[in-house]
Structure formats: structure tokens, C-alpha cells
Structure 1
């Protein structure tokens, strides 16, 4: 959502200014063109040169420092921006914005800004909880500005409290969600997308289980891609370590049966279902409620077949667009085509997990996409996020037919 956006970061004077430098870097990495304006107080904590080097643009500080004769700088910057971010926003700056005071470059430019304004309050907890600050935040929200909740943690004053600058990655996620809510014509707006992720676990006893090497990264990338297209995303995941993408509903499961039940609960109203999880084909016929002790030289473990979730969905689907994944080590085309037919899927995304840049626990992937009566589409090595976006773009073209 930030790709191609023109973003102005307004930095006001608090100890968290140094964290704003990382925020600027992340915004640029997300594809935004960023310019920075600072209050003079902010320059006491971090020099403008830092932000100039990061943004590759002049940093605005002085209202009367008009460098271009044909432009009034604070109006130009206000008109240029697609999004204004005030981070960190001190109590003083909040009060000025809420009351329309324009006595420095930042407050003057913000008063002229018609683009959405996203504010990150950062201050001591007592200042945050002061009646005046609470009142100012309410005024700003009533005026249509987005106020991000500060973090709780160790404050500069040496004690725990609320008012910390959130992690820049959290700010980026929240901004993405904020921008999504402003978009009206996204292709999956108000449509449900169900995605599974990770490797299921089948218990043998309280300390052992059968699983596979799937990290869930591909499923999480698909969840972000679907969210960015406006979808209401339900991510059914076994992962305990990956961060839930902002705006995505997480349903945590462990076993194949739990995953089957969770998918079934959402399937009827889904527009797209993507089975990206690596689901265990078998489970132990008996789960011991105590740790199995080592007694004999050999132990025989009897396995029974799990429900084939993809095949079950294929048999019961109506208008849903069903996407399955095939992680293989050989005969990729043969197995993928067979899976497409037998599971009655609309698309199979196959990859060779033995390749160095694809498959489990990697940040990159390369896949072949199979659909009925069409030649395979090859997606060469790229980040899993980019691959996810391409998969959904292809799915959308097929859904329209």
C-alpha cells in the first residue's frame, strides 16, 4: 500500500526522534518517496543530516528558509504529500495540531495538509494521561486524524509506563491497514480469503510429534498480499513464531484435523481458499498420554490416514476459487497435474523444495502454476512476498472469466 506513495514524516522534539530515522528507512524500503520536516527541538536529538541522507531530500525546519522562489515550502510540502506522519508526536505538537496553532514549519505545514494525517503520540505516561492531552487526542480523532496507540514499556525517565514509540515495523503495519481502509476500489474489498500456513503436528505422546519442515512463510506472505488487495483474511496457521500480519484474523491450530475444522468453518462464505499449509498425510492411531519410555530395540508406530482437506474442499466447493500447493522433490509437473485433477482444485502452485532458493524455511521461492487446459506459468526466483502477489494476480484474472 505504500509503494509509490509520497509521504512526509513530521518529526517533533522527543527522545524517540532517533527511532524516527528507522521509520523513514522502512517507509522507503516499502516503496514510498519520503520527505522529512523537523521542529527545531527535534534537531537537538538527531541532526537533520541523518534524515537528509536517509531520504535523499532536503530536510525542512525553518518556515522562512524559502529555497525555491516559485514555491512556498510549507504549502508545497502539504500539497505534495499523499500521507502525513507525525512521529514522534510530543504533547506540545498534539496540542498545536488539535488547536490549529501554526508557529513553526511542522505545525504550519500540517495545518495546510489535506492528505490523511497519521499521528504517533510519544511522551511520558503522566503527560499522556493528562486531561489536556486526552482532550487534544479526542479532538484530533474527531477531526478525522488517525492516532496510533503508544507502547507500554521502559521509559526514558527510568520506569515502566505507557507512552513509548512503537516498533517501527508495527507503525508500518498500522499505516498499511490505515491506508487500506481508505481505499474504495480494491479487487478483493469485502471478500473473504481463507489461507492455511505451516506444517501440522500429529502427537505421538506429550513430548513427541510427527511434522515437516514448513515454516509457514509462504502462507503468511499470501495473507499480506490478500490483505493488500482489500480482502478479509482468515489465516489458519500452525506457526508459533511468525508475526500475525496487521489486519489479518489468525486462527491457531496444531493438527490436520483442527485445520480441517477451522477451514470448514470459514469455507462457505470464502471467495478464495488457499491451502498453502503442509498438512500431515498420516497421524498416529494412538496418542499416549504419557511419555513413551525406551524399552525395546525397535518401536512400531501405527499410522492412520488424515482427511485430505484439499480433496474434501474440491468436492464441496461452489463458487470458491480453490488453490492448492504441491511441495515436491521430483516429477513436479506429473504430480502437480495429477493433484489438480484429483483434488478438483482451480489452481495448483508447485515447487521443488530440494532447490536452494525455494521451499521450506526460505525467504525466496520459485514456483510453477498449473490450471486446467493451460500451459504452466513459471514464476522464477523471487521473494515469497513477490511470489504471493503474482499468485493472487493470476487468480484474480481467472476469477473474472
Structure 2
């Protein structure tokens, strides 16, 4: 039987206008269209058949088409095998149901991962996952008291669908920048020992001189140091939150960042300035040996001028000042200071509210912890170090008081830190003259 009969070519005359040379094979139906393997085998058989009298050009075109389809299928299988064998890196954020990423896992506008906040790290932690799954129950010691009326519920903060919300902070949002002025180090223990230079700015800190041959060399000093022994102080607070609200990562992160972490930073700034050094952290203003500057009696220097003269005093003590902390009311007086023509002396334009606050080359930090009418100027990084133990720790439990039966959890945030004011002479406390 000829190859044409084997392929099942139709018999009979061609239709009017039809090229009688164009005859197409009729494949038997076996559950559908022939597979690539069947088409390949058929074309290979026809190419090997020396008696084939069909359209050879068409047969070659079919061979090319089938070859391309086979290569494409092989490439797909190769890519599929590579993807299955690829390992996802540890910590890679996984999408949540509904194509919604867990709050805190979204990259920034440039596609870069941003540093985790305390709340983001907390909601991603394995400890929280274990707690929610019922595999852990923490116990913490707190004084028993009734649940506060301000307990957060899902009704007080509806769950949004398109953005990472959080609970809107109701506390005042003052800048938290005092701690950033200091040198910051990590402590390995709870006891802090350091040497405090009590020599004072008038000490003979450098007696180096040219000495004749055989002459006595001068002695530098005297220097006096005190060994200061103190402990890291714990700053902590907690809030109640319903289990339903805690199960919503958005609300949980908002509450941790908006209330707990902010509260610790707020308190830390104030401890750095005014801590009593015994039951509290060591404040710079309460450390003996810091310099003071106050205009002479009857001197009504403007605050702008007073700051400049106090800066000179700091420089004469051999510690170049780099920043000043003052009450917002005092900074207001300085910014509003005008010359005889009514032009502002400190700011060039009132529309430039985002410009860095600086005066006489000093970084300005405003804080309500600084009493109005006073300011603290100094070389902050040279004069003091903030020692921290582990940073901020977040704890959560359902074992407080009767909160378990009320379906309420407790979230606690704490940190341990203290300030080592090792060079008091690097600071100058300013007392402004009363305005006329």
C-alpha cells in the first residue's frame, strides 16, 4: 500500500478550484487530536519513506513546526524543574490569604526592605505565632487591679482593608531627639562602673613646655577622677488589649509603636536630662560639676546673645559644644528675635519650617523636660554615654489578674538603660535673663 493510502488521503476528484496536489492526511480519532509524540513519529516515518510522493516542502514545514513545539515544551518543563528545586531564602516574607501581605513586610518605594520597628519584629516573631497557636502561656507579676476603662477593642479601631493603620496616638508628639545627641553603647551586665573626671575646667590639663637641657620637666595636672558605680534602670509600662484586637496585626503594631515604644522613648529623653541618679537614671542637669552661665545682674542680653556667650564658656573649658537643648518657649523667643528693621535674625523665611534647627553652629533640640528660662549646652557625645541593655523588649500574656476570663491580654514594653556622665565639664547650664 502506498504512503498516500496509508495516510488516508481522500479519493475522488478535487473540488472546483482546488489544487489536486494538495491532499492532507486524515488522522484516526483516538480520544482527540494526536499528541506531539504521535505527530513526530508520523513525520519521521514519512521523511524516511523513499516512496513518499506527497508535498515534500509541506512535510518539511510540518517537521520544523513540530520540532519548535517540542523544544518549547522541553523549555517549560526545564523551567518548572528549576523553580521546584529553588530554595526560598530564610525570612522571606510570605503573602497572606487574599494576596495581602502581613503589615510591616512591604518594601519601600524603591523596593528595598526597611529596618524593622519593634512592633514589626514583634508581630513577625515565632514567639507570637506560638502564643496565638496556644503553645505558650506567659506569667508576669503585676499588682492586681480592675481593667481600665480605656481598654482597646476592635470597635474602637475598625480594621481597614487597604493600608497599615494602627491606633492614632493621643499623647503629645514632641521630638524624641535628646538620646540621639549622646554616644550610645551596649552593656553586658546590669551594674555600670565608670570613671568621672572631676578635675573641672580650671585644672592644669596641659603643662607641656620647652625644657632646657638638664632642666626639670613640668607636671601636667592634677587630674581627679571618681569611680561611679550604678545600675541600669528599668523603664516599663503596659496596656490591656482585647484578644480580638491583638489578633489583628495592624492594630497590634499600631498600639505597640504608638503607645508603648513611644512612651519609653519619651521617658528616656527626660531621664537623660533630669533623672535624680539614685532611683532614676543619672540626669545631666543633676550631675555635680557641670558648668553654669547666667548674665550678670542687670544684664538684659537677648537669649540669642546669651547662648553665644555660653558657647564661649564651653569652648574655654576645652570641650567644644555641639548641641543645645531648650524649652520650646525659649526657642520661640530666639526665632522671633528681630532687628531694628523688623527682620528675623535666626530664620531667613517663615515658610522654611522643615529646615534643621541650628544656632551659632549648634544643633537645637526642644524639649518640655527643660524648664522654661533655662537651657543645656554642651559637647554631648564627649561628655556622656547612654548605656543600654538589649534595647526594648515586648512581652504579652493572658495570665494577668482576671484578664483571662475577660478575653483580654496584657502587652508590656520595657528597657534597661542609664547615662554615664563621665565629663561634667563638657556641659553648661544656661539661665536666661528675665525679659524686660
TM interval, shorter chain, is under 0.3
Where relative contact order (Cα < 8 A, 6+ residues apart) is larger, the structure is 2
Look at both structures and tell me which one has the larger radius of gyration over its CA atoms: 2
